[in-house]
């Protein structure tokens, strides 16, 4: 199994070719950037972008294929995505380089989207003064691997392959605990619609079509 970034393929997985590609320029993400509902979409509301007058700084602790990071950056947030799997990080890195070479996207993403390779639990636990990897976030966003679904539709094949590579994120509760200790205004966790919250203390939830965003607001 190899992971790569190929400019000519849509973002996601090319299971037949045994490759994972990250492409921010074409395909599903380009469509979502143009027609995804802007700041009215659930992800934006969960992070607080729809109400924020200033640019929010979001630490995406589980960058994965960078889709959520990308959407947030296109909506005006400054995003640092963290990915611990080295091959997934490499695909992300190359995908971002390609996007920066694109005239239109390069302007949108420059200074607004970057990725770091590392374990977010360690990064969040080892940093002081609310600065992680030279970045001071307002929001921490988590989208750890969801539990496997019973229905195995063809469309889920890509996800099964991704799961084989990165595993099940068994330490996701530890990541949430580390995020909740961090001095940020809110922590957002993406969950399958019908799954229980990862932990109690949810302030409110925003429902999307297939997922739910559990928001933990800082106690003031």
Which residues in this chain contact ligand SAM in the complex, by CB under 6 A?
Answer: 61-62, 64-68, 82-85, 88, 119-121, 143-145, 166, 169, 175
Residues 147, 195: Cα–Cα separation, whole Å: 9
Nearer to ligand SAM, 18 or 219 (CB): 18
Closest residue by beta carbon to ligand SAM: 64
Nearer to ligand SAM, 73 or 108 (CB): 73
Contact (CB, 8 A) for 56 and 78:
yes
User: Which is it for strands 78-83 and 113-117: parallel, antiparallel or unpaired?
Assistant: parallel
- Closest approach of ligand SAM to the CB of residue 183, in Å: 19
- Closest approach of ligand SAM to the CB of residue 169, in Å: 4
- Closest approach of ligand SAM to the CB of residue 50, in Å: 19
Nearer to ligand SAM, 138 or 191 (CB): 191
Residue showing tokens 């001095």 = 183
- Closest approach of ligand SAM to the CB of residue 176, in Å: 10
Contact (CB, 8 A) for 124 and 158:
no
């Amino acid at each position: 199994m190899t992971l790569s970034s190929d400019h000519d393929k849509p973002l996601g997985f090319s299971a037949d070719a045994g490759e994972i590609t990250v492409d921010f320029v074409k395909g599903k993400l380009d469509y979502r950037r143009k027609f995804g509902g802007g700041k009215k979409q659930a992800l934006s509301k969960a992070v607080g972008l729809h109400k924020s007058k200033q640019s929010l700084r979001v630490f995406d602790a589980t960058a994965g294929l960078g889709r959520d990071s990308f959407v947030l950056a296109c909506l005006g947030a400054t995003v640092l995505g963290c990915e611990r799997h080295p091959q997934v990080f490499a695909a992300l890195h190359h995908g971002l380089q390609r996007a920066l070479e694109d005239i239109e996207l390069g302007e949108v993403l420059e200074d607004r989207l970057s990725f770091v390779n590392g374990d977010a639990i360690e990064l969040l636990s080892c940093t002081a003064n609310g600065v992680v990897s030279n970045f001071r976030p307002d929001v921490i966003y988590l989208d750890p691997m969801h539990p496997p679904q019973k229905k195995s539709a063809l469309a889920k094949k890509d996800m099964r392959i991704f799961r084989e590579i990165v595993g099940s994120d068994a330490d996701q509760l530890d990541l949430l605990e580390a995020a909740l200790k961090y001095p940020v205004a809110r922590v957002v966790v993406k969950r399958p619609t019908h799954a229980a919250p990862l932990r109690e203390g949810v302030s409110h939830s925003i429902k999307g079509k297939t997922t739910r965003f559990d928001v933990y607001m800082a106690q003031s």
